[in-house]
Structure 1
Amino acid sequence: MYQYAGVVVNNDSVQVDKVFTYKIPINLIGSVHLGFRVKVPFGRGNKTLDAFVLELYKQCENVNNIKEIASICDEIPLLKITDIELIKIMKKKYLCTYLECIKVIIPRGITKGIKKKTAQLLTTCKELEGKFLNEPYKNIYMMIQNDNMKYNKNEFSKLFNVSLSSINTMIKHEFLGTKEVVINRYNEKDYSRYEEKILNENQKKTVDLIMNSNNKKFLIHGVTGSGKTEIYMNLVSYMLKDNKQSIILIPEISLTPQMVERFKGRFGRDIAVFHSRLSDGERYDEWMRVKQGNVKIAIGARSAIFLPFEDLGLIVIDEEHEASYKSDSDPKFDAREIAYMKCELENCILILGSATPSIESYYRSTINELELITIGERADGASMPSVEIVDMREELMNNNRSIFSKSLFEGITESLRKHEQIILFLNRRGFSTFVSCRKCGYVFKCKKCDISLTYHSASDYLTCHYCGEKERISKVCPSCGSTYVKYFGVGTEKIEQEINRIFPSARTLRMDFDTTRKKNSYEYIYNTFKNKQADILIGTQMVAKGLDFENVTLVGVIAADLSLNLPDYRAFERTFQLLTQVSGRAGRGTKEGNVVIQTYSADSLTLQYAANNDYDSFYKDEIMMRRAMDYPPFTSILVITLSSEDEPLLIKSIQNVGENLKYKIKDNDKITLLGPCPCGISKIKNFYRWQIIIKGNIEEAIALEIKNSVYELVKNVYTSIRVSIDVNPSNMI
């Protein structure tokens, strides 16, 4: 029998990031298991804290003054054995704490004490008699009999305009009663049947290969519209027949309504949906449904990878190239890497799917870490859209100063005439991207961030897209006092206004961060456009991935250059992916699709490759550049970011860190240190930001030594300096 337990306490301090040994009291021996949450006395004051059991020991060398576990919190373990193994791997790989890993696996609702939601609902009891056979009692009784266990007293009273005192009188005389019922906080909506489709030859070969291969990890490189979702569904069907569970990851919450609609239409309502827009209560309910074995399929964003399935058979990562699979908060995990780990730990199948695979994933397929499956044709014989690159410099020379090129204007006009739908893509929200004075050149910037403010016409405010700070637009320059204040640049809001001005009869929808803040807003926009209640969908990258509308025949890319010139080694890759993906929204039904890409860099090879849907040529160029420049997948990048409101202290601290690290790695010719220097955006929310970039063959032991060194050097000013360490960040800015 185990008599001692190694636990991690629920305390965020880096100083207590270790496994502490506690004695298991006699009355709990045999009851404390790995993964349990327990209560323990901690610190000098013996304050009782939650703790998580990660290890068990039969004996302990030093038993003097060892404290005892106080109690067990739950009837079941919250962490599986494989979860504990995963936590230990993540801690090393992502240079984070035990507790940060635990918190990403267990929803905060569990540890916050959220329980199942219950309500006292009205029900009928004995038959009416006496005066209760008269109104209003008779009518109340009949309505509750028809809607038994549907409403509580207050809901019923307000909804049907019935006196609450009459209801209470009937309860007092036992003609009505209430029963406690568990209220489900998850989506119980019934969806239209999504019939199983007959697989084409490519789809059938793919499913057969995966189910009969000795390999466990696959990359499906299928062009947009090649029917990857139907492949995923067939694989899930095989898992269900084998009584195994499946996780389907999608990169954006905007794709959730479409994926949920299809999967629940095929497999029924018993599917968990898990993403960041759910409330703590909803996340608790969905997590418990998985934990209790009530569902066998889960759909969600990156955090759904940690759902506690007991017999996981399949993990699918759709649109695997998306940067949103990498977390930018601690632990800074990559869901694709977590899926690799779970594939090994739980012996399940892993599918990565994309029309534009990430360079890292495609490279893994070339060295046989992933088995590559290529599908070069669209399902149902649909043809790929025709793509035209329009040089906006020539449009200016032809005196066209409009946002829309001649080709795009004519395309919109023709599509509207034919009652076909249009998607317009611009990866920049707002009305104008910056506001400046034409006399002195002053640019209106956020006072808290080193970033220009964006003008939003709907609210008539200037807004910072990093901290959310707002200020009223001024018609007078605060620098020189002139009134020559002008709006520059274009955002989705401006596109919407121009469309409404030029095509007043067109019904428009906008999908960007500003229009999707409210709960269920994604689903509303998706269903409105799907049901053809809008002609033109204008949006940021939310519209560039996964959406499948058969009546969309035209896609317009307003400014293809936005992501092309960012100071990030992934800029070309991101641009190629965005353009190829958004182009793929056109012509997915029986009608021919057309794409117009507007750019001031028409000779860019990246744009040419995207227009020709030529991933192979793009990959060859990009991987050659990565190899020459020592970028991933050939090396790792470790970014150390320090931030503080005290800029002089910050600079002094990061210079000390830089000198220390240079000394530590001076004899290691496999590692290069760059910096320290200000971040691309050097100030956010009043915090100045500086960074050090370490590039090369960074082994886990070296990375851990670097982390410990950084924290050791800044610990004396830790309260005023924030430390962030990111392994292979998705964004270098």
Structure 2
Amino acid sequence: MYKYAGIIVNSTSIQLDKLFTYEIPEELIGRVQRGNRVLIPFGMGNKKIDGFVIELYSNVEDLKRTKKILNVYDKFPNLTDNDLSLIEKMRVKYLCTYMECIKTIIPSIFFKGTKNRVENFIFIGEKLKGRYDKEPYKSIYHIVNDNNGKYNKTSLSKKFKLSLSSINTMLKHNYLYQSTKIVNRFDQRKYNYYEWKHLNYEQKIAVDSVMNSEESMFLIHGITGSGKTEIYMHLVNEMMKDGKESIILIPEISLTPQMVERFKGRFGKDIAIFHSKLSDGERYDEWLRVKEKKVKLAIGARSAIFLPFENLGLIVIDEEHETSYKSESNPKYIAKEIGEFKTEINGCKLVLGSATPAIDTYYRCIKNEIKLITINKRADGAVLPEINIVDMRDELLNNNKSIFSRSLFKEIKLRLDKNEQIILFLNRRGFSTFVSCRKCGFVFKCKNCDIALTYHSYENNMVCHYCGNKNKITKVCPKCGSKYVKYFGVGTEKVEEEIKKYFPKARTLRMDFDTTRRKNAYENIYNEFKNGRADILVGTQMIAKGLDFKNVTLVGVIAADTSLNIPDFKATERTFQLITQVSGRAGRGEKMGKVIVQTYNPDNYSIVYAANNNYFKFYSEEIQLRHIMNYPPFVELMLINMSSENEQILIKSIQNVGINLKDFLKSNDKIEVLGPCPCEISKIKNNYRWQIIIKGNLDSNLKIKIKNFIYKLIKDVYNDVRISIDSNPISLV
């Protein structure tokens, strides 16, 4: 019988990241379990705070200072034994605290109080009599009778234009009454049946390989349009036959409507949907449905990987190469690494899918750490689109200063005449990328960040994409006083305007961060385009993958160099992936597709191999460069980022860290310390930013030692300087 508990208090402070021993009072013995959320007294003043039970003990040595647990919150443990095992792995891998892991795994609503949505619905009560057996009471009575318990007081009044005062009077005299109900906030819509498709030979091999292999990790490297989603569906079906549960991860919320539509059309509505666009309450409802074993399948973004399935059989990470699977806040996890931990803990299978796998993933396949499954043909006999590279330098020489090359302009007109659909891709939102004075060269920058402001025409403002600061447009240069203030560069908003200018009859939609801020905006845009109510879809990377529109026959990549010019070791990989993925949106039906890639670097190997749809040649060249330059997957990286509003304190602190770190690691000749130096964007939200990169053979123990060493060095300026340590950065920008 356990009489004591090791508890983590609700704080992300490193100083409090340890177990505190509490006594379990007699009335709570048996109720307190590992993973329970409890109320405890803490500190000198015995402040009442939340905690989580991590361990249980029969006896402890020192009983004098042991306090008692005050209460147990929930009827069930919030964290399972498997969750607690995962937390231990995450703490080591990502150098984070218990509570940072816990707050990632369970819904945030647990820390905010109320969880269930409760509403009062109106029912009829006693029969009308006396002065109430007339209008307006008779109408209210009959309407409620027809909709007994369907509406609450407010919605009843609004829908049928009834007097709230009269409804309240009838409630007071018992002619109506209210009954409390818990309202479910999950999607209960019915979807059209999505027929099972006959698998082709390669798809069958893929399903059989996963189901019948002793291996636990797989990469399905299938070209765009090869039917990977159909493979996932068959795998889920096989798991359901065995009574096991599945998680499907997708990288973009924009893909959710399509994936939900297909899976719910195939498996019914009892599927949990989990992503950041849901409210806290909706996320809790979906989490609870999984906890109560009401669903066997979940679809969502990276956080869905933590849903509390008890009999998990399959995790699928679609478009596994995507950077959105990486968390930028503590714990700085990558979804596929969590998936790998879960295969060890839960004994499930992990399936990664992509037409353009991450270099490190494919490298692990070559080393036989992950089983590789290759699919070289499109499903249903569709043909890959023809891809043409256009050198925009030649367009300038031919006096074409438009954002559309002559060939792209011609193809847009041709497809519109044929009533076919078009996707135009530019991974940069806004109208223009910066505003500058043509006389003195002054660039309008954000006062809080070291970044050029982007002009947005729809609100006629210059906006910072990092802190959200907005500035009114001025026609006079603040530096030289000239009136030669002009807009430079192109964003999706500008592309949309140019389409409307040159093709006024074309129905155009835009999908980027600005047009998808509102709830359900992704789904509305997706349905509009899918149902043929628009001819052209302009968008950023959220349209570059996964979407399946049979009538899209033309894809235009407006500027292929946008990602190529980023100063990062993964710039060419990212460029290859984006071009290949967005090209794959064309020709997915019976009609032949075409892709126009506009670039100022037509000879760059990432663009050439993307145009030839040759992943292996790209991989071969890229992996050689990584080896020569000593970058992942051949070494581990560790990124130390420090920031402060006080630039002098920051520089002094990080230089001290840099000098001492180099001395601390000098005995290891396989480790390189680069920096300190300012970050690529040296100021965000009034905070100056510097960084140090550590590169080499870094195991978990050494990373923990480095972290502890750094925190000791900055203890005197801890309140003035923020520190962020990323043990496995996917970008150095």
Instruction: Give me the TM-score of the superposition, normalised by structure 1.
Output: 0.98
Does the residue aligned with 2:313 lie in a helix, a strand or coil? strand
DSSP-derived class of the 2:68 partner: coil
- The CA distance in 1 between the partners of 2:670 and 2:230, in whole Å, is 45
**Partner of 1:56: helix, strand, or coil?**
strand
Specify the alignment match of 1:691 in structure 2.
Answer: 691
Contact 1:10–1:51 (CA under 8 A) maintained in structure 2: yes
Find the aligned partners of 1:420 and 1:640 in 2 and give their Cα distance.
Answer: 50
1:140 aligns with 2:161: no
Q: Which residue of the partner structure matches residue 20 of structure 2?
A: 20
The amino acid of 2:462's aligned partner reads L
Note the 1:386-425 alignment, pairs <5 A.
386-425=386-425
Local SS of the residue matching 2:321: coil
User: Which residue in the other structure is 1:335 paired with?
Assistant: 335
What's the offset of the Cα at 1:380?
0.3
Query: Matched residues in 1 for 2:453 and 2:131: separation?
Result: 70
Contact in 2 for aligned 1:123/1:145 (Cα 8 Å): yes
How far apart are 1:600 and its partner, in Å?
0.5
Task: State how far apart, in whole Å, the 1-side matches of 2:158 and 2:502 are.
Answer: 47
Contact 1:644–1:720 under 8 Å retained in 2: yes
Alignment partners' CA distance in 2, 1:40 and 1:155: 41
Counterpart position of 2:658: 658
Counterpart CA distance in 1 for 2:164 and 2:390 is 68
1:312-351 matches, cutoff 5 A: 312-351=312-351
1:144 CA drift (Å):
2.4
Whether the aligned pair in 1 keeps the contact of 2:647 and 2:688 (CA below 8 Å) is yes
SS of aligned partner of 1:246: strand
| Contact kept in structure 2, 1:555 and 1:583, CA below 8 Å | yes
Does the CA contact (< 8 Å) of 2:423 and 2:554 recur in 1?
Answer: yes
Where do 1:479-498 residues align within 5 Å? 479-498=479-498
Structure 1 residue 653, shift from structure 2 partner: 0.2
Distance apart, 1:27 and its partner CA: 2.5
| Aligned-pair CA distance for 1:26 | 2.5
Structure 1 partner of 2:372: 372
Corresponding residue for residue 605 of structure 1 = 605
CA distance in 2, matches of 1:229, 1:725: 36
Change (3 A) 1:196 1:146: farther
The residue aligned with 2:198 is 198
CA distance in structure 2 between the partners assigned to 1:350 and 1:119 by the alignment: 41
Amino acid of the structure 1 residue aligned with 2:12: D
Indicate yes or no: 2:519 matched with 1:519.
yes
Q: Residue in 1 aligned with 2:78?
A: 78
Given that residues 583 and 595 in structure 2 are in contact (C-alpha distance below 8 angstroms), is that contact kept between their aligned partners in structure 1?
A: yes
| 1:411 counterpart letter in structure 2 | E
Instruction: Tell me, in whole angstroms, the C-alpha distance in 2 between the residues paired with 1:566 and 1:163.
Output: 61
User: What is the rounded CA distance, in whole Å, between the counterparts of 1:375 and 1:564 in structure 2?
Assistant: 28
For residue 62 of structure 1, what is the aligned residue in structure 2?
A: 62
Q: Aligned residue for 2:107?
A: 107
Q: Secondary structure at the match of 2:67?
A: coil
d(CA) in 2 for partners of 1:458, 1:30: 61
Query: Which residue in the other structure is 2:356 paired with?
Result: 356
Q: Within 1, Cα distance between the matches of 2:628 and 2:54?
A: 43
Listed as ranges, the gaps of 5+ residues in structure 1 are none
Counterparts of residues 5-404 of structure 1 (less than 5 Å):
5-125=5-125, 135-172=135-172, 174-404=174-404
Matching residue of 2:731: 731
CA distance in 1, matches of 2:707, 2:404: 50
Distance 2:196 2:24 in 1: 54
In structure 2, distance between residues paired with 1:93 and 1:120: 47
Instruction: Please tell me the residue identity of whatever aligns with 1:3.
Output: K
Q: Deviations over 1:29-55 (max 9, x none)?
A: 222111011112111111111111111
Larger mean Cα displacement after TM superposition, 192-201 or 252-261: 192-201
CA distance in 2, matches of 1:675, 1:518: 41
Aligned partners of 1:405, 1:387: CA distance in 2, in Å? Answer: 14
Q: Is the 2:12–2:98 Cα contact (8 Å) retained in structure 1? A: no
TM superposition shift of 1:505: 0.4
Distance (Å, rounded) in 2 between the aligned partners of 1:493 and 1:292: 45
Deviation digits for residues 459-504 of structure 1 (CA, Å, limit 9, x no counterpart):
1111111111111111111111111111111111111111100000
SS at match of 1:462: strand
Cα pair 1:196 1:266 within 8 Å, conserved: yes
Q: Equivalences for 1:451-600 in 2 at 5 Å? A: 451-600=451-600
CA distance in 1, matches of 2:485, 2:418: 42
- Report how far residue 138 of structure 1 moved: 4.1
Residue segments in structure 2 that go unaligned for 5+ positions in a row: none
Question: What are the Cα deviations for residues 109-135 of structure 1, in whole angstroms up to 9, with x where unaligned?
Answer: 012112211111122345666776655
**1:322 positional shift:** 0.1
Distance 1:448 1:119 in 2: 44
State the Cα distance separating 1:685 from its structure 2 match. Answer: 0.6
How many residue pairs end up in the alignment?
Answer: 733
Q: Give 1:716 shift.
A: 1.6
1:450 aligned residue: 450
- Please give the root-mean-square deviation of Cα atoms over the aligned residues, in Å: 1.4
Q: After TM superposition, give the deviation of residue 714 of structure 1 in Å.
A: 1.3
- Aligned partners of 2:444, 2:175: CA distance in 1, in Å? 69
What is the SS of the residue equivalent to 1:219? strand
Letter in 2 for 1:201: Y
Please report how far the alpha carbon of residue 216 of structure 1 lies from its aligned counterpart in structure 2 after TM superposition: 1.6
TM-score w.r.t. length of structure 2: 0.98
Range that drifts further, 174-183 or 234-243: 174-183
Q: Alpha-carbon deviation of 1:567?
A: 0.8
The one-character-per-residue Cα deviations of 1:237-256 (angstroms, maximum 9, x if unpaired) are 11222221111100011111
Cα separation, 2, equivalents of 1:602 and 1:12: 49
Q: Which amino acid is the alignment partner of residue 550 of structure 1?
A: K
Compute the displacement of 1:367 (Å).
Answer: 1.5
2:196 counterpart letter in structure 1:
E
Q: For residues 454 and 427 of structure 1, what CA distance do their matches in structure 2 show?
A: 14
SS for the counterpart of 2:560 is coil
Amino acid in structure 1 at the alignment position of 2:561:
D
Deviation at 1:23, TM superposition (A): 2.0
* Residues 573-582 or 664-673, more deviating: 664-673
CA distance in 2 between partners of 1:211 and 1:114 (Å): 42
CA distance in structure 2 between the partners assigned to 1:632 and 1:676 by the alignment: 20
| Equivalence for 1:440 | 440
Higher deviation after alignment, 228-237 or 181-190: 181-190
Paired with 1:131 and 1:294, the residues of 2 have a C-alpha distance of 49
3-state SS, counterpart of residue 422 of structure 1? strand
The separation in 1 between residues aligned to 2:44 and 2:541, in whole angstroms, is 52
Asked if the contact 2:569–2:731 (Cα under 8 Å) also holds between the matched residues in 1, the reply is no
- Greater shift in the superposed pair: 409-418 or 37-46: 37-46
Q: Is the 8 A contact 1:431 1:454 kept in 2?
A: yes
AA partner of residue 569 (structure 2): Y
Question: What do residues 51-79 of structure 1 show as CA deviations (whole Å, max 9, x unaligned)?
Answer: 11111122223333222222212111000
Cα distance between partner residues in 1 of 2:177 and 2:170: 8
CA distance in 1, matches of 2:210, 2:491: 43
8 A contact 1:382–1:590 mirrored in 2: yes
Q: Does structure 2 retain, via aligned residues, the 8 Å contact 1:114–1:284? A: no
User: Which residue type is aligned with residue 405 of structure 1?
Assistant: S
Q: Which amino acid aligns with 1:214?
A: E
8 Å contact kept, 1:642–1:722: yes
Range with greater deviation from structure 2 (280-289 or 318-327): 280-289
Structure 1 residue 137: Cα displacement: 4.0
Amino acid at match of 1:647: E
Contact 1:420 1:551 in 2 (8 A): yes
Residue aligning to 1:619: 619
Alpha-carbon offset, residue 143 of structure 1: 2.6
Counterpart-to-counterpart distance in 2, 1:638 and 1:133: 77
Percentage identity across paired residues of the two chains:
63
1:411-445: CA deviation from partner (whole Å, max 9, x where unpaired): 00000000000000001111111111111111111
State which drifts further: 394-403 or 685-694: 394-403
In the other structure, the counterpart of 1:678 is 678
Cα distance in 2, alignment partners of residues 158 and 40 from structure 1: 46
Which stretch of the first structure deviates more once superposed, 17-26 or 449-458?
A: 17-26
Q: Secondary structure at the match of 2:309?
A: coil
Matching residue's letter, 1:190: K
